[in-house]
Chain A
Amino acid sequence: MTTIRRFCCNDLLRFASVNLDHLTETFNMSFYMTYLARWPDYFHVAQAPGNRIMGYIMGKVEGQGESWHGHVTAVTVAPEYRRQQLAKKLMNLLEDISDNIDKAYFVDLFVRASNAPAIKMYEKLGYVIYRRVLRYYSGEEDGLDMRKALSRDVEKKSIIPLKRPVTPDELEYD
């Protein structure tokens, strides 16, 4: 049961049950606020009856030419509301906005190479592993760059996997 609405600052004080999860990063304030100030349509929260925060998604849209794309920075769901396809719902929302409003070519995201459950979930949602980013997470763990093509990328060029892994400094965007 989900009311999905734009994320607002006050939600930062209510998302503890979600962020206490060990895989959910709590960023500094300027990070959240930059996203809110620049891409408020890419930052949504899901709320349950009784006004409980169920989970949220934050992302952005960036790139040039055919790299113009939506990016999922974080998507997370509180333990109480897992196994209800909420992440899927939130991802679909971001994809819709990237596709229909911003006319992006694809949506991408980074995931820890060790986070098997998440990789499996993204694959189910239609994402493919585009490339491996060596030591992306704090210079230790590799990250996987996963992508899903949107309607503007008719030939699905954006998701043809790269043959070799890249290093973080080769990435086009932060």
Chain B
Amino acid sequence: MKPLPYGPSKQELMVVRVFEDHRIALIFQNYSPKKMSRFSPFSHLCVLCVSEEAENNALSLWIGMASKFGLAGGIPERKVRPIWDAIDSRQFKNALKHVTTLLSKHPNSPYALALKALVLERMGKPDEALSVSLNAKQLLYANDSLLMDDLTLSSLQIVFQRLDHLDLATACYEHACSKFPNNLELMMGLFNCYVREYSFVKQQQTAIKMYKLVGEERFLLWAVCSIQLQVLCGNGEDKLLFLAEGLLKKHVASHSLHEPEALMIYISILERQSKFGDALEILSGKLGSLLMIEVDKLRLQGRLLAQAGDYTAAADVFQKILESCPDDWECFLHYLGCLLEDGSIWCDEAVNDPVHPPKFVNCKVSHLTDEEFDSRLSTASAFIQKLQADTSNNLIRCPYLATLEIERRKHLCGKGDDDHLIDDIVKYFCRFGHLACFTSDVEMFVDVLTTDKKTELLEKLMKTSGTSSAAPTKKLGLSISLFKIKQLLLGDMFKSSTSDLELSCVQMFEMYCKNLPLSKDLDPQEGMHGEELLSMTCNILVQLFWRTKNVGYLVEAIIVLEFGLAIRRYVSQYKILLLHLYSHCGALSVAHEWYKSLDVKNILMESILHNILPQMLVSPLWTGLNNLLKDYLKFMDDHFRESADLTFLAYRHRNYSKVIEFVQFKDRLQHSSQYLVARVETPILQLKQNADNIEEEEGILQGLKCGIHFLELSNEIGSKSLTFNEDLQTRPWWTPTSEKNYLLGPFEGISYYPREPLTEDRDTSLKRVIEKKSLLPRLIYLSVQSASASIKEHVEVNGSVTPDITLELKLLLERYAQLLGFSLSEATEVVMGLPNGERSSVVSDSNLIDWLNFTVFLNAWRLSSHELVQSDVNGCRPRIWDILDTSLEKYILEKVRSMEPQVCSPWSNIELLIQLVTEPLAWHGLVIQSCLRSCLPSSKKKKKSGSAYQSSSNLAHAITDSVRHLSHVLEDVMKWIKEWNRRPEDENLESILILLRNNEGPGQVLHNLETFISSMNDAELGDRIFHSLKSWSPADVARKMMTGKLKVLMEFSAICESKFKLLQSMKQQVAQP
């Protein structure tokens, strides 16, 4: 069939219905009024599920008929077409011209007005668009004789949605439906409005009306889904499910069901009410035949039987599944669970976070008698043995791993035989040891062994691998598994001696190099043999660094991974390790480059961004950070905007389970902890970026509604439950979550493998962080206001004070103090003690920024709360102001002096230094700017309030003092940064490479590498690998590290310079007579 000039494409056409009188109704996938405008809308639209072929026939028929109609929203189609064509080609001005012409002939046509609003909105004139669409709405309401067609309404709906006024669109549809109560087309439009608003109750009511009108199954299911959503995502009580069940039961009795998804929903409703018997009855009845995939049906049946407590029947069902799918591990666990009459696996499913399911299966202590238990397990063993015998495919692992699970269960009941388990693991190793997943497969089984038994197992495994005469790739796989299992079994990295670990590194690295020839004929896109060896080498080198604090190991780890990426540049595992290593060393710009090379986009940002975001948040790389935040928020907000429309798509395609899933998923993302962090950090970044110009900063604050919105967020956060969607498995062992970095602390043995995320702790602490951070915009706003109010108040002696600001600031300070763990007066005391030589016990590196921020805001508040006059005995500044300046100086210079400008020095102190300058110092700078602006009137006002400055000479002195003070501090910082740049590049490089040139300690892997490179030839390695090897040099890596670090420092230097300039200009302003 040829595409028609103006016809919808076949992909867009979703459903066609041919009526007896030959009228046809259509629904489009990307339902747009544009398409509809080209063909007449039908006043009575109905939708029916038809087969693809029937759709095509109907489409041909419809095309023949479509030309006979010609009205769009009461306006001839030919007059509307040019408007849509212009919109299509983004010629909005042209479109507007056409609309204006159209409106001159149809001034009261809501459709024409809706089109105008649409064009205006696209032209970026939201206010005009809103007013025009409100006009259209009014006309729709006023003139009852007008055609209330879905075309006009849906055009208006689009505008209202884009203008963030879903409520207005809903109101239009509600009105239309009340005027024409039996119009299915309008009711579907209204249902869609409620879907967009997540109004589950109203969805349900509308769907029921539609169901009553036409009696179609799908409308009933729309209602049932809406009820389920009330229970799962709203405040609906469980008893509502009984109502849904009743509705379904009645419909089934008279009409049966025709869609597999309808059956699934029916069963899920019964399941949720624990009516497993009823569900089973339905499933085994006629309706069961709706489920076309037999295994799916059996799985469902097994689950229901198990939940109903009929374990024997359930085990039979799972056994049947295993016979046809012998590799289905989950099914085996279900089977075993049923044999042992342990239903905990189903209870856990309901409790566990579906995004972070546990690695291990929980099992209850068995209530079976010893004999029963033994006999059940021997039944399982016999069945598994049969499965093993029946499977010819040597890639099927499940029946072999199953024997291990059976042994594990025995162990858990105190009936285990270690030797059996060890033998079984060895057997499994012989069969599957060469696979990359071997270690993760057996992880949970070796866990039950004692340390001695683990050693014994290791010895056996080593012996076995020694005798193996496998093909080279298989042999390599076995050796890698052996290395991995060694680490796993012995917690190897933490117990072995330094020299043993060094030896392991060298061995693994050598193995990688020696086996490179195996990969010489592989496509560069394909994963190479032994790639894992380099990440394992890196892991141990980092461990050595942690133990010895010798930075050389860290450098060597970086070199190893960079080498791996030079050989094949696609290994994402290396890239993630590298980005953490570079971050730790301070070469954040290089870390960011590696992150970008991972091409993390769309939903991956939600699970992977945590690898880089926290470091960037405390860095001076503001442009990069801004891009990260912007891209991420755009992705999330786009999803929230479009999610409801996709939910409606699932409704229309009768995939009801997906309806529920989509709504739950949207909820999950809306509560994402990372999303909240990004939302709070975005304005803070803007405020940091503009802090050197108070006018611009005020513009930003205005855009943030003076921080009110974030204040609300801060108030709400406590009651929200956050979701954690990060994929923590991607993180390296030394930083299992973004809050934890073992390398910053002293060496201690940790069992990082296996590890599970600690969601609860993170929830509480992150909420506090967000609560605190979201106070910042408002605190900054109020501080600026308070500073300027203090001056004005000072000038106009009896003038109006601004008690609101002072009062609100005080309340927020109380909250801030509370978040630091103190009352306002206690916190003030802590602040007073800040500059007293010895460090207060409550202030540490981890909360220093919070305390200094608090001091900035406290000072601003005191300015307007009459403390101004009580200046410090030694100077002209108010006491707290003085303390603030002194503390900033003290802490900043303390950091600067503690760090040698060495390329390899630790970086965490620099992060803190950067934060000191870009946060408290910046906010304090704003307060000073605000004071100065108020007491130094602009030329226009000079005559009126010329005395302001003179009358507050104390303040002038305070400003002068403070500016001088802070200028010195910044000068020192800039001088310090310059030191870094002073050394010639060669010397810098040498200082890195020298770390690896000792006879002992770090450098042994590199030494091996250099020997290897010089010994290889292209015949052995193939051109590609050989070329990569030859052109690679460790000096390049050192250079990359160094320039990366310097780049970050240069960015920081630029920030300091900008602040320094601001202070200089303020100095001049104050100095002017």
Contact = CB atoms under 8 A, between A and B. Distances in A.
B655 A37 contact: yes
A163 B531 CA distance: 42
Given A38-B649, A47-B329, A48-B437, 8 more contacts: A9-B662, A22-B570, A29-B635, A48-B329, A50-B441, A51-B359, A80-B437, A100-B292
Interface in B440-468: 440-441, 443-444
A73 interface: no
A29 B603 contact: yes
B649 to A, nearest CB: 4
Contact of A174 (B11, B359, B441, B642): B11
A14 B661 contact: no
23 contacts: A13-B606, A14-B607, A14-B727, A17-B729, A22-B525, A23-B525, A26-B601, A29-B638, A33-B646, A36-B655, A36-B658, A37-B647, A38-B653, A40-B658, A50-B360, A64-B10, A79-B531, A80-B440, A81-B437, A83-B435, A84-B395, A116-B525, A117-B525
B423 to A, nearest CB: 20
B610 to A, nearest CB: 11
Contact of B354 (A3, A4, A10): A10
A12 interface: yes
A138 interface: no
A8 B659 CA distance: 11
A13 B329 contact: no
Contact of A49 (B292, B441, B608, B635): B441
Contact of B572 (A21, A32, A63): A21
A51 B357 contact: yes
Contact of B527 (A37, A38, A47, A82): A82
A17 B727 contact: yes
A1 B401 contact: yes
Nearest to B572: A20
A37 B331 CA distance: 26
A89 B665 CA distance: 28
Contacts of A101: 292-293
Contact of A79 (B328, B527, B730): B527
Nearest to A52: B440
B761 interface: no
Contact of B443 (A8, A32, A34, A50): A50
B436 A81 contact: yes
A20 B604 contact: yes
B327 interface: yes
Contacts of B526: 117
Interface residues of A, number: 56
Interface string B933-956: 000000000000000000000000
Interface in A135-170: none
A40 B655 contact: yes
Contacts of B649: 33-34, 37-38
Contacts of B395: 84-85
Nearest to B360: A50
A65 interface: yes
Contact of A65 (B53, B396, B643): B53
Interface of A: 1-4, 8-10, 12-14, 16-17, 19-23, 26-30, 32-34, 36-38, 40-41, 47-52, 62-65, 68, 79-85, 97, 100-101, 115-117, 173-174
B397 interface: yes
B331 A34 contact: no
Contacts of A49: 329, 401, 440-441, 444
A68 B52 contact: yes
B371 interface: no
B37 interface: no
A63 B1 CA distance: 11
B123 interface: no
A57 to B, nearest CB: 15
B833 interface: no
Nearest to B3: A172
Contacts of B359: 50-51
A117 B523 contact: yes
Contacts of B330: 3, 47
A117 B526 CA distance: 7
A22 B526 CA distance: 10
A84 to B, nearest CB: 5
A79 B657 CA distance: 31
Nearest to B663: A9
B607 A13 contact: yes
A140 B355 CA distance: 37
Given A1-B398, A174-B11, A64 B639 contact: no
B780 to A, nearest CB: 34
Contact of A3 (B1, B11, B329, B360): B329
Nearest to A100: B292
A84 B11 contact: no
A34 B311 CA distance: 38
B661 A22 contact: no
A38 B659 CA distance: 11
A20 B608 contact: yes
A38 B437 contact: no
B331 A16 contact: no
B725 interface: yes
A19 B604 CA distance: 8
Interface string B572-596: 1100100000000000000000000
A115 B526 CA distance: 10
A30 B401 contact: no
A88 B570 CA distance: 23
Nearest to B354: A10
A80 B665 contact: no
Nearest to A38: B653
B736 to A, nearest CB: 16
Contact of A115 (B358, B525, B570): B525
B602 interface: yes
Nearest to A31: B602
Contacts of B355: 10, 13-14
Contacts of A65: 53, 56
B650 A64 contact: no
A58 B334 CA distance: 27
B49 interface: no
B598 interface: yes
A82 to B, nearest CB: 6
A76 to B, nearest CB: 13
Contact of B655 (A30, A38, A51, A117): A38
Contact of A10 (B638, B665, B729): B665
B760 interface: no
Q: Which 4 A-B pairs have the closest CB atoms?
A: A9-B665, A20-B572, A37-B650, A3-B330
Nearest to A10: B354
Contacts of B325: 4
A21 B293 CA distance: 31
Contact of B599 (A12, A22, A28, A68): A22
A85 to B, nearest CB: 6
Contacts of A174: 11
Interface in B530-583: 531, 570, 572-573, 576
B231 to A, nearest CB: 19
Contacts of A36: 650, 655, 658, 661-662
Contact of B444 (A34, A50, A64): A50
Given A52-B440, A85-B395, A37 B525 contact: no
Nearest to A41: B293
A69 B940 CA distance: 77
Interface in B376-414: 395-398, 401
Contact of B440 (A37, A41, A48): A48
Contacts of B444: 49-50
B332 to A, nearest CB: 9
Contacts of A82: 436, 527
B440 A50 contact: yes
Nearest to A93: B293
A52 B353 CA distance: 14
